[in-house]
Amino acid sequence: MLDAVAGISDALVVVDERARLVYRNPAADLLGLQDLAPDPAHWSRVHGIFLPDEQTPFPTAELPVSRALTAGEAVRDVGMFVKNERVPAGLHVLASANPLRDPCGHIRGAVCILRDISVLRKQEAQLEEGARQKKAILDNIPDIAWLKDELGRYVLVNQPFASAAGRAVPDDVAGLTDLDLWPQDLAELYRGDDAEIMHTRLHKQIEEPFVDADGRRSWIETFKTCIVDDNGKVIGTTGIARDITERRRIEEDMRTRKNELEQRVLERTAELAEAQENLVRQERLAVLGQLAGGVAHQIRNPLAAIMNASYVLKRHLAPDRHENVEDAIRIIHDEVRHANIIITGLLDYARVRTPDRHPTSIVDLLERILDSDWIPSNVRIVRELPADSVVSEVDSDQLQGAIANLVRNAIDAMPDGGELSMALAVRGGEIVITVTDTGGGISPHVRAHLFEPLHSTKPMGIGLGLVTARRFVEAHGGQIACIDVPSGARFEIRLPAS
């Protein structure tokens, strides 16, 4: 039995009821306990027994062996520090003691076991120092920072993290998971990131939403990576998160400003192009105006001669003896009429004059236009004219020219025939004249340029008809506009009733 006890690494000391040494094993000698002082009151001083702080002598009455002898206590794992001649560097030990009783229960001595824990204490100190260093690093990071184990439990966090999580100090977060701290949708998102990082062993930089303990929503830029031990095993994750809400707002503001600037550049470019186009158009109009007066009469005289010659041919050539004679003559008449319309348009545009107003029956003026022989037979005329006479002081030539231009445009829009409606009404102190056709309608692009000079969709048009019509109408204090209709086209002239 004694041989077995002698071989253990823990120091073992046995004393009798008077605290006299009865037995010690070799390990006890290594602690300088081979000769116990006869008076237990001097054990701490003589044998160099201190509290774990390594400075304060251990109170003799509190020594485990003293408590076992005097109070009969079974004492377990009391920390102490032993430093004497045999162990000059000192050793930290855990002491346990039990009383030894006879069959009658009387205390006849005590046994004390002391276990060297210096290596363990050193390892604990190293671990504590490592933890302190990690904590110091985390606490000096101004951003949110954390360490998690492989199960997603928080091991270390810094104060900014604790504050964001609604905890007073970082230690309050230890052992918790994302599900304990954040809304479930965000917690699942964060846990998914951790699983991906630990699987791929790649770091990740992401921008993701964040909600703090007060419910404030923000955006954070997160850097996450996995933690690997010396054996290459993934043992957790670590990360840093920075509030980028303001940065994202600035970036979004910059994108908005950039888009606005680009849009402004496009608009200015379009305006410049339009201004250039208008300038070119005005220059062309100026040239046309200069040429119109001098050239118009020189062109009209040959046209009149051509028209007269065609009438002579029509009288002297029998249609039944000369094939296609009537068709040829009709083509001559139509083309001469078309040339005269163009010349008239040029002259009307070039010769801007104040309207020569006279009392005029608007109904009669409209009837004259609708009875014109240039309206083809495949166009059905619908008259919506009042029975009573509507008289107004207007320049009949200008007004008839404006309305006739609308009618010609309506006819040109119905090459295969259709319905032309002419309406006249007096409403709210205004004379309202409406011309409607059943043609193909007007596209939005064409509508945007309707009243611009030199803009025409007709192959032979010069783009002055509607421009001149508007000038005539506005000279009378009125307005002309294109009205939206489900199909076809409708133009409306409004004149002050007088």
pLDDT of 287 reads 62
Instruction: Report whether pLDDT(46) > 90.
Output: no
What is the tens place of the pLDDT at every residue in 48-79? Answer: 899 999 899 999 889 998 899 989 999 999 99
Stretch 74-97: mean pLDDT = 90
Task: Quote the percentage of the chain above a pLDDT of 90.
Answer: 38
CA distance 41 to 22: 18
What is the tens place of the pLDDT at every residue in 204-253? Answer: 998 888 888 888 888 989 999 999 988 999 999 999 998 888 888 898 89
Instruction: Report whether pLDDT(472) > 70.
Output: yes
Burial of residue 428, with CB atoms counted within 10 A of its CB: 0-12 exposed, 13-18 middle, 19 or more buried = exposed
Q: What is the pTM of this model?
A: 0.42
Cα of first residue to Cα of last residue in the chain, in angstroms, is 141
Please state whether 85 falls in left (phi above 0), alpha (psi between -120 and 50) or beta.
Answer: alpha
| Average pLDDT for the chain | 84
What is the tens place of the pLDDT at every residue in 162-183? Answer: 988 899 999 899 999 999 998 9
CA distance 56 to 257: 72
What is the tens place of the pLDDT at every residue in 318-345? Answer: 655 556 677 777 778 767 776 776 676 6
pLDDT of 167 reads 92
Q: Report residue 428 CA to chain centroid gap.
A: 52
What is the tens place of the pLDDT at every residue in 397-445? Answer: 889 889 999 999 999 999 999 999 999 999 988 999 999 999 988 888 8
Q: Helix, strand or coil for residue 112?
A: strand
What is the tens place of the pLDDT at every residue in 117-161? Answer: 888 888 888 877 877 777 777 777 788 899 999 999 999 899 999
Asked whether the beta carbons of 489 and 413 are under 8 A apart, the reply is yes
